Amino acid sequence: MIVIEMNDGRKMKFELDAENAPITTANFIKLANQHFYDGLIFHRIIRNFMIQGGDPTGTGMGGSDEDIKGEFKSNGVNNNHLVYIN
């Protein structure tokens, strides 16, 4: 279980799916342990669907120095992900 605490004190909980997205999961954990995400905003929010963050510029055009393979069908990864948001 991952817990993100917002600046206003509210907390968001979610789980990573290491079985279906091992590259993404490992990269997220590594960057979180390095405090890369501390103080960053979610630059894209689509209610009841997804959030996107991890961009120090806050524009969606930046990110870490890490380049990882996207784990979806167009990259040759058999992907049948279901997203569960709690």
* Residue ranges covered by each domain of the chain: 2-75
**Average pLDDT over every residue of 14-34:** 89
Provide mean pLDDT across the span 32-52. 87
Q: What is the mean pLDDT of the chain?
A: 83
Quote the pLDDT of residue 81: 60
The span from the CA of 16 to the CA of 3, in Å, is: 11
What architecture does CATH give domain 2-75? Answer: Beta Barrel (2.40)
pLDDT surpasses 80 at 84: no
Dihedral angle of Cα 27, 1, 34, 61, to the nearest 10 degrees: 60
Higher pLDDT among residues 82 and 46, named by residue: 46
d(CA 63, CA 83): 23
pLDDT at residue 34 greater than cutoff 90: yes
pLDDT of residue 19: 85
Does the structure show a pLDDT above 90 at 77? no
Dihedral in degrees, nearest 10, Cα atoms 6, 1, 74, 43: 0
